[in-house]
Amino acid sequence: MNIKFIANRLIIVFYLFLIACSETEAPTKLGALASIEAGEDNSYANIYSVSTKHLHLDLDVNFENKSIYGIARHEIENNHADTAIFDIKGLQIQKVTLGAKGKEKNTSYIIGIEDSINGAPLSVLITPKTRFINIYYQTTDQTTSLHWNNEKIKSIFSKDSIQKDTLVESSTTPSYVYTLPGEQFIRNWIPLQDIGYRKINYSATVRVPEGLLPLMGTINPTKKNDSSTYHFSSVTPVSIYDIGLTIGNFKHKKLSDKIGIYFIQKINKSILKETKTLPVIFKNIEKTYGKSPWPITNLIVLADSSPFHNYTYPCLYFIHPSIFSKYENSTYDLEQFLLNNWPSTFFSNSCKNNLSLETGITNYYLNRFVLQNYGKEQAELASKLYINTCLLSAQEDFPRQFLPANVYTKNCNEKSSTQTKEIAFKQLKGYLLMKSLETSLGTLKLDRFVRKYLLENQTHSLTDFERELNHYLVQEEVIRFPLKTWLYGKKIPPFTYKISSKRHLQIHVFIKSFLSNKRFFRLRKTKVTFTHFTQFDWLTFISLLPAKTDVKKLSQLDAQFHLSYHPNKNIQSAWIKYGLKNNYTGIKSVLQGVLARFGDKVYKSSFKI
């Protein structure tokens, strides 16, 4: 906890003491002091005294000055408190009132010192009987969670014909805006209690300029109306991180009763053709997990120049147009987005730190998808690739004794932040937990538990998951399964799942031959092998290359297989990152275009920008 965060707690105590002394009808001094609590995680909110149970947003969106004028109406649960503390960051607070709409009265409030990461506490003077708090505010140029895109940005196309007809054909981007999800982002455009593992109901009234359509993380309109005013309501209680907003000149295409897609610019025929696979993918997922928790799911294909992309809200997924390519495995990425509908309801909202564990569970089911669609060899390779990727990030912080011997790897060249390593370790735990359960129960019994659990549990806390799974394991006569260690322990327990891949070994031998043989690309075996390389083959190939490789060898690979211009963005991204670390100048010509398409977010860890 940093110094500014602690200082803010002390300032709140002092100023509320002064207010309590000066207000004739205000709560007593002792009450004001007693209501101050230690902040949770990185939040200033005093949720044990005051907590939001329903949030209504009244928003006017202005594209000319790039701002939102809003009222956040909090219906609260009040435990006889005299102070309510909210999190804000980069917002201009105009006034705060108490009472239901139409019966509001102004109240006093204090804004603490602004911290560059956590923002500032907004402390509001209330009474023990207060039920409604209304915060009138405006976003500012410091509201970085609102990504405004109303400049005409030309899409950068590769000269290589391998990529031309897979991209969006429009040369300009219409005006639109969208919010970024996650901790510290939400308080940057809504004044609230920024504690993501608590679920609330929310509703919203959004007024937008004529001709634009607003969308949120819930059931959305598919057509514009004459009033340019739209109303939203959450389907179920959600994490505050799932309150998202995007506004643009969207057009909607219904693909089935369960799934649709929004476009913000003209789309070519190849992309429309690939979207037809979405209902089939959706149906296959429901066979495993059961019915989707949302009545309908929509994807948004963002503009080609959007620097942030590929993230999800309930019912609404943001994807980059590059996900649609003629290269196979684009359906794998689509499956990944749709899968978030289900495992994301396991237990992540009971504690934000469990999100990583949940991601590992999602990747387990992605591996099942690979097995179903690409066969055992590719599934084993994808599993090995995912485990090694987690280990490369996690191993520095979690020594060898924390890992079973059969998952330890000596090739740990990448450096990551402590937080990244912790996340990677939990993702690995989530993935291997499901693999272990599959070994103990079998896939049919495991899927039966998952469907039953998601259907019957609405709160999805980690303790719920532990209790229900323990009961099921006893029922199925699976004894001595170390579930508590899997969920809460700092170590990965021993397990019987065998991490092996013949394809992985073949690619490793293939790389040795490539590095040692000058006539490598003239061999018939080489041409045949590379012709049948999948996404997982290429990602494994790049990951197994030595930390340092002769740039002449990289140039040979690039000239032969156009990796710098590869239509699959995962392969292209992995290749560019590797090239940057090896000072390979061959990627410089394409790097500017890639940054224009994807932004610098993906590559910041590879070079200074």
- Express each pLDDT in 187-197 by its tens digit: 999 999 998 77
Instruction: Say yes or no to pLDDT of 68 above 90.
Output: yes
8 A C-beta contact, residue 384 and residue 435: no
182: left (phi over 0), alpha (psi -120 to 50) or beta: left
Residue 29 tokens read as 């001094």
Per-residue confidence (pLDDT) for residue 167, from 0 to 100: 35
Taking residue 571's Cβ as centre, other Cβ atoms within 10 Å add up to 23
Which CATH architecture group holds 347-488? Orthogonal Bundle (1.10)
User: How do residues 5-35 score in pLDDT, each as one tens digit?
Assistant: 555 555 555 555 554 454 444 333 323 333 3
Helices 502-516 and 535-544 cross at an angle (nearest 10°) of: 60
Per-residue confidence (pLDDT) for residue 171, from 0 to 100: 34
Instruction: Say yes or no to pLDDT of 603 above 50.
Output: no
- pLDDT level of residue 286 (50, 70, 90 thresholds): confident
8 A C-beta contact, residue 29 and residue 38: no
Residue 391 tokens read as 């280990």
Instruction: Say yes or no to pLDDT of 403 above 50.
Output: no
Q: Average pLDDT of the chain?
A: 77
- pLDDT level of residue 168 (50, 70, 90 thresholds): very low
Per-residue confidence (pLDDT) for residue 491, from 0 to 100: 82
Location of structure tokens 């089935």? 256
Instruction: Say yes or no to pLDDT of 115 above 80.
Output: yes
Selection from 63, 53, 66, 58 nearest residue 94 by Cα: 58
Selection from 70, 202, 203 nearest residue 143 by Cα: 70
User: How do residues 476-516 score in pLDDT, each as one tens digit?
Assistant: 988 889 998 888 888 888 877 778 888 888 888 888 888 88
What gap in Å lies between CA 418 and CA 429, rounded to an integer?
A: 17
Instruction: Say yes or no to pLDDT of 79 above 90.
Output: yes
- pLDDT level of residue 342 (50, 70, 90 thresholds): low
Instruction: Say yes or no to pLDDT of 186 above 70.
Output: yes
**For the chain, percent of residues with pLDDT exceeding 90:** 27
For the 146-179+196-341 domain, the top CATH level (class) is alpha beta
- b vs e for 217-235, b when ≥16 Cβ sit within 10 Å of the residue's Cβ? bbbbeeebeeebebebebe
Per-residue confidence (pLDDT) for residue 305, from 0 to 100: 57
Q: What is the mean pLDDT of residues 369-373?
A: 84
Residue 54 φ then ψ, to 5°: -145, 135
Low-confidence winner among 70-84, 288-302, 359-373 (lowest mean pLDDT): 288-302
Q: Give the contacts of 335 (CB within 8 A, at least 6 positions apart).
A: 281, 285, 366, 369
Low-confidence winner among 77-81, 303-307, 370-374 (lowest mean pLDDT): 303-307
Q: What is the mean pLDDT of residues 435-445?
A: 91
Identify residue 556 by its one-letter amino acid code. Answer: Q
Selection from 295, 252, 259 nearest residue 278 by Cα: 259
Give the HSE-up count for residue 210: Cα atoms under 13 Å, Cβ half-sphere: 2
What gap in Å lies between CA 286 and CA 333, rounded to an integer?
A: 17
| Domain range annotation of the chain | 1-58+71-137, 146-179+196-341, 347-488, 519-598
**Under DSSP, is residue 176 helix (H, G, I), strand (E, B) or coil?**
strand
Give the HSE-up count for residue 192: Cα atoms under 13 Å, Cβ half-sphere: 31
